[in-house]
Amino acid sequence: MGARTAQAFQSVRAYTLNQLEARFGAWLPADLFPKAAKKANSRDRLYTRPRTFWSMLWQSFNPQATGRLVVRQLQALLLLEGGPSVSEEDGAYCRAKARLPVRDFPKALSATARAADQLAPARTELQGRPAKVVDGSTCTAPDTPKNRKAYPPVQCPEPNFPMLRVVVLFSLLSGAVLHVITGTLRAAELPMLYQMFDQLIVRSAASMVATGSGAWAKTTGWLAGSADTNRRCGCRHRSGRLCPRKLPCASCVAVAMSRASASGRSRW
């Protein structure tokens, strides 16, 4: 993670709940968390779906914050808006989080990625083709029975914790996260990448994919080029000549990655 990203993250962490929604609300569709037609989330509640989402987002930026601190943020917001009073207890907030559908979160991720790409300066490398970066990693999860069942620990000796494997697809243009796939440590990263295949194809042009790892670059390059293997790269070399290679062209992708890193646009 680059220095600018770390500075921006610290600035966002200092936002109040009201400031967070005002800053990022325009980047999310208004109908992201619609009111349910019946049963859960169908009644008019104080903790609506959108309000619960923003409260959870504020808490994720402040992981040490308790549920009661989130409620205090909501109390201050409603006081500014002239809304109803809220109990200091966090039971209603916790129940609202449990009711929030997880399936809508990827939609929020995609919406913010599109907004970030629109705000980023256009690139000329790779003939303007959309470039994406893929990488994998592992992380630990809270030690709960549910997580141990979903992500069995494999570390030895004890103590051991649930661990999951993560494969992330980034936009080289803005550095925004486009898609995330999670699995157990027994799941290999490349099969997890294949689940993102629909994210690697663009309707009008082949989507160039590159990473810093040689193994990743070979595999993702093949996935990108499989969309249209008869297309020429078309990038212009320093000599002025057009690149005669067919997609995917690893050399031109590497040049685009190095230029993006030098310009600071991809320092996330």
**pLDDT 10s digits, 128-149:** 667 788 888 888 888 888 888 8
Q: Looking at the structure, do residues 113 and 209 belong to the same domain, yes or no?
A: yes
User: Which has more pLDDT, 160 or 36?
Assistant: 160
Q: Looking at the structure, do residues 140 and 259 belong to the same domain, yes or no?
A: yes
Cα–Cα nearest to 51, from 82, 92, 8: 92
Q: Looking at the structure, do residues 146 and 238 belong to the same domain, yes or no?
A: yes
With a cut of 70, say whether residue 226 has pLDDT above it.
Answer: no
Does the CA dihedral 193-116-114-49 come out positive or negative?
positive
Mean pLDDT of the chain: 75
Q: Report the pLDDT value the prediction gives residue 128, as an integer from 0 to 100.
A: 67
As a whole number, mean pLDDT of residues 81-98 equals: 87
Q: Is-contact 131 159, C-beta < 8 A?
A: no
Q: Is residue 122 part of a domain?
A: yes
Phi-psi region of 154 (alpha: psi -120 to 50; beta: other; left: phi over 0): alpha
Q: Looking at the structure, do residues 153 and 200 belong to the same domain, yes or no?
A: yes
Q: Is-contact 149 124, C-beta < 8 A?
A: no
Q: Looking at the structure, do residues 57 and 71 belong to the same domain, yes or no?
A: yes
Phi, psi angle pair for 39, to nearest 5°: 60, -135
Q: Looking at the structure, do residues 10 and 116 belong to the same domain, yes or no?
A: no
pLDDT digits (tens, 9 = 90+) for 186-204: 888 888 887 777 666 543 3
CA distance 18 to 23: 9
Beta bridge partners of 180: 168
Q: Report the pLDDT value the prediction gives residue 212, as an integer from 0 to 100.
A: 47
> How many domains does the chain contain in total?
2
User: Which has more pLDDT, 93 or 31?
Assistant: 93
Cα–Cα nearest to 134, from 5, 257, 9: 257
CA distance 48 to 46: 6
Q: Looking at the structure, do residues 89 and 121 belong to the same domain, yes or no?
A: no
Q: Looking at the structure, do residues 112 and 180 belong to the same domain, yes or no?
A: yes
pLDDT digits (tens, 9 = 90+) for 151-195: 887 766 666 888 889 988 888 888 888 888 888 888 888 888 877
